[in-house]
Structure 1
Amino acid sequence: MKIFIMRNWHKISIFILAFTLIWLRRIDILTNAQFWAEDAVFWYKDAYEQGFFSSLITPRNGYFQTVSTLIVGATTFINPIYAPLLSNFFGIIIRAIIIWFLFTDRFKFLSTTSKIFISVYLICMPGLDEVQANITNAHWYLSLYVAMIIISEESKSKLWKAHDLFFIVLSGLSGPFIIFIIASSVFKYLHLSKGVISIRGLYLFYTRLPYLAMILCGLIQATSIILTFNGTRSHAPLGFSFDVMSSIISSNVFLFSFVPWNIADAGWDNHLLSYTLSTLVITLCVFLYIKGNWQMKVFATLPILIVAFSMAKPQLADSVPQLPTLATGNGSRYFVNIHIAIFSLICVCLFQCIKNKTLKIFFKIYVSVILIVMIKLNFFITPLPDMNWSQGAELINKAKHGEAVSFAVLPPWLTLDLIKK
């Protein structure tokens, strides 16, 4: 163990630093830990009343959400007072491990400058109020992690292979995004096959263990959706229009990548700005798919597919047209991955594709200023309302067997209803 720590002290230090900074953005994550939304009313309730294993193998909303049921379900074995603390602790770990992975030897193709800038962004990016270290939204980050595994340099180490397989399966059984990840991996196949598409080539590529695991997880999730989906998602009208889509692309996708919502919402108020920025974003995407390397295409495709399908079937409102509600900054979870992709791809283009040293220095200063402003505007996230989880947990502890327990949780309009075991 001592030798391992000495060999990897810098990577361990990066992980600890990332963990600490993510926590400091909203210290109540651990100092006044509370469950968020489904963490309490679905995952904790199901595991507590039905049992850990039963909740683990039961799909919700049509698909398996293993990371949520696994981690939150495990907290039912400890005193309820500490359950959100353990859950949020793992939520921070899932985010911090992304930064640790970025600094491993698997990403030698990225410059240290790119890694540092991307890491700072991952820690300080705006729009994380809804997904800051809660387990119910961890699958967004796990899908990003698997995309990183695909674009990273492959290792022959058994430990790394086990690492890859573990996170692929965990992500694949934690949401439907594994289907989009498989679609994104096509660009890696095309790179390795030098653009030649053949049945034998596809067979050899997708029967390799990591990709076979993706396909199996995708089949499990697809089968679950077909057999168990009960239409519980909102049936409210979509509210689609070209003005709305242009505003989403300009504000929610692009501007919200860099500034808080009270600035990013400009695309909803100014149609000229909206159409200008959305046209720019679409043009840059087309350029990326024409000129970018396979790794850029993989990293861009996953979040684009996530946003496209999320906008086609969102869960934003129950009675009013849904897409227009994004004008309030609602639904920020849908855009986390694409924000990370936008900033990361910009860094790679500016710091690794541009060869002129003067221009490189200029862009380093320019992006540094952007990050400094971003940190000033975004770093501290407003603590969530205190719903007194500890008091609710005491109600659970003091209740008699079979007695009903009910108390408010986050968001404030939700209630956790339990039957004491």
Structure 2
Amino acid sequence: MRQYRFSFNTIPLPLAGTIFLLLLFLRHPAAILDANFWGEDGWFWYPDAYKIGVRSLLLPHTGYLQTISRLGGLAAQLVSVRWGPTVFAVIALVVQMLPALFLVSRRFDALWPHYPSRLAFALVYVGLPNSVETSGNLTNSQWYLAILAFLVIVSAPPRGGIGRLGDSVALVLSGLSGPFCILLLPVAVWNWWLDRGREGALRLALVLATTTIQAVMLVQTMGQSRPKGPLGVTLPNLVHIIAMKLVFALCLASHQLERLVRTSDIVAGVLSVAVVTILVLAWRYGTTLFRQFALFGALVFSASLVTPVGAGPSPWVTLGTLGGGARYFVIPLLVVAAAFFTLAATPRGRLSSAGLALCLLMTIGIVRDRSYPHMTPTDFNRVANAFANAPAGTRMVFPVRPEGEKPMVLIKK
């Protein structure tokens, strides 16, 4: 991204973090004020921690360790089950905020010197459209931890031991909370190759170590947690995925356009070619930072197409809808947004104008999707209060979001 000479007083990090947290909260207040367990939060993380305690940290799920979610389950044991979902939601919001905060820190002053555009991109991240599935729930915090890990890998070295310790914790926690360390390994190698310094070597070593652990877990559980049926691999399905998840989701235009994209292979194909062209141009004229992020996003996108979990009997058909498997496209969606910023920063007049226009178009999606859909209240609090007063051995069923999903079952100890 183009280096500007511009004087701008940076926002103090505590204030920036507070603003980001407030914006995330305002998008989905019910995540905190009416907290409920979300999916695996109630099916695995909390019940496993309740039953077997710290041993749950060693249990793989869907083929790999999910440490951040397991730690959340253990932390929630410090309070009653009534407040367990709130603990999960608070941890999730803090994790979701951290990449934005890290991006606007001085660790990126050299890589992205123009602070206003860096702050603007952090706000795009906070307001990212079509992200309700990943916001405010610990199950999907691994996606935001992966973004934080990427930023740590490519950032300038910290000035002291505390910063280095924080980097190491972020890389290890992310690496042991999903398969993303495997996808970040090429980025870590690339970054180390650029300077051959001690800091890059340490980051590469941590990514390699966690990759080895997660790869062993994946091999040991292969076939038990991956989809076994046909994926629905066709060119029309692919262009619908690209058009719906990387174009329409970012701009969230009219419902009429959504129906047109959904039903017309030609329209989906044109939009797919357009977004690929934008990405190629951004790669051509962008910085190393963008190229590294684009590589990471491409690997995430490819892996999501090959091994989607819980995407129905024909995963590619499901992924080609606006809401189906939206978590898989949070990172690729940010890459497309970064491509818009990259084109806007180029010194080439027409490309820069096109990039600015695309950034303005993106604000439509941000504004239209600024608040997440209202979720139907549940009777979780009533059940939790009854559970707290129940005798040992009592079996109780707790509602879990999203609505209609299977419940959480606990037996009182």
State TM-score, norm by structure 1: 0.87
Q: What code does the residue aligned with 1:250 have?
A: A
Distance 1:304 1:99 in 2: 21
Q: What code does the residue aligned with 2:392 have?
A: H
Distance 2:258 2:382 in 1: 38
Change over 3 Å in CA distance of 1:260–1:20 after alignment to 2: farther
Q: Is 1:407 the equivalent of 2:398?
A: yes
- Per the alignment, residue 3 of structure 2 pairs with none
- Per the alignment, residue 78 of structure 2 pairs with 77
* Residues 256 and 264, structure 1, Cα contact 8 Å, conserved in 2: no
Distance 2:233 2:223 in 1: 24
**Matched position secondary structure for 1:130:** helix
How far is the alpha carbon of 1:253 from its aligned partner?
2.1
Q: Which runs of structure 1 show a deviation greater than 6 angstroms over 4 or more consecutive aligned residues?
A: 204-207
Q: Is 1:305 the equivalent of 2:299?
A: yes
- Per the alignment, residue 23 of structure 1 pairs with 25
What are the equivalent positions in structure 2 for 1:309-328 lying under 5 Å apart?
309-318=303-312, 320-328=313-321
- Per the alignment, residue 387 of structure 2 pairs with 396
- Per the alignment, residue 235 of structure 2 pairs with 242
How far is the alpha carbon of 1:314 from its aligned partner?
1.3
Q: Percent identity?
A: 24
Deviations 1:235-285 (A, max 9, x none): 332111011111111221233122269455643322222222222333444
Q: Is 1:384 the equivalent of 2:375?
A: yes
Q: Is 1:220 the equivalent of 2:222?
A: no
Distance 1:17 1:363 in 2: 30
* Residues 238 and 320, structure 2, Cα contact 8 Å, conserved in 1: no
How far is the alpha carbon of 1:311 from its aligned partner?
0.9
Deviations 1:338-383 (A, max 9, x none): 11121123213313x3276x986x6797466435433431101112
Moved more, 19-28 or 229-238: 229-238
Distance 2:107 2:199 in 1: 21
* Residues 192 and 204, structure 2, Cα contact 8 Å, conserved in 1: no
Deviations 1:170-223 (A, max 9, x none): 000000110000122333244336xxxxxxxxxx87982221111110101111
Change over 3 Å in CA distance of 1:261–1:398 after alignment to 2: farther
How far is the alpha carbon of 1:130 from its aligned partner?
0.8
- Per the alignment, residue 365 of structure 2 pairs with 374
Change over 3 Å in CA distance of 1:46–1:12 after alignment to 2: same
Distance 2:232 2:359 in 1: 38
Q: What code does the residue aligned with 1:151 have?
A: V
Q: What code does the residue aligned with 2:411 have?
A: I
Q: Is 1:172 the equivalent of 2:166?
A: no
Distance 2:232 2:201 in 1: 43
* Residues 127 and 261, structure 1, Cα contact 8 Å, conserved in 2: no
* Residues 244 and 261, structure 2, Cα contact 8 Å, conserved in 1: yes
Q: Is 1:134 the equivalent of 2:137?
A: yes
- Per the alignment, residue 6 of structure 2 pairs with none
**Matched position secondary structure for 1:243:** helix
Change over 3 Å in CA distance of 1:150–1:264 after alignment to 2: farther
Aligned length: 400
Change over 3 Å in CA distance of 1:124–1:207 after alignment to 2: closer
Change over 3 Å in CA distance of 1:120–1:363 after alignment to 2: farther
Correspondent of 1:269 among 258, 263, 266: 263
- Per the alignment, residue 198 of structure 1 pairs with none
Change over 3 Å in CA distance of 1:131–1:393 after alignment to 2: same
What are the equivalent positions in structure 2 for 1:16-55 lying under 5 Å apart?
16-51=18-53, 53-55=54-56
Distance 2:284 2:341 in 1: 18
Deviations 1:30-82 (A, max 9, x none): 1111110000111001001111x111121122210000000122102211111
**Matched position secondary structure for 2:398:** strand
Distance 1:43 1:381 in 2: 24
How far is the alpha carbon of 1:132 from its aligned partner?
1.2
* Residues 124 and 374, structure 1, Cα contact 8 Å, conserved in 2: no
Distance 1:354 1:125 in 2: 27
Distance 1:403 1:57 in 2: 27
- Per the alignment, residue 12 of structure 1 pairs with 14
Q: What code does the residue aligned with 1:15 have?
A: G
Moved more, 76-85 or 341-350: 341-350
Change over 3 Å in CA distance of 1:289–1:112 after alignment to 2: closer
What are the equivalent positions in structure 2 for 1:118-157 lying under 5 Å apart?
118-157=121-160
Change over 3 Å in CA distance of 1:326–1:32 after alignment to 2: same
Q: What code does the residue aligned with 2:307 have?
A: K
The CA RMSD over aligned residues, in Å, is: 2.6
Deviations 1:306-359 (A, max 9, x none): 1111111212444x32211224321100000111121123213313x3276x98
- Per the alignment, residue 56 of structure 1 pairs with 57
Distance 1:359 1:239 in 2: 36
Deviations 1:83-126 (A, max 9, x none): 11111011111111211111111111321221132122112221
**Matched position secondary structure for 2:20:** helix
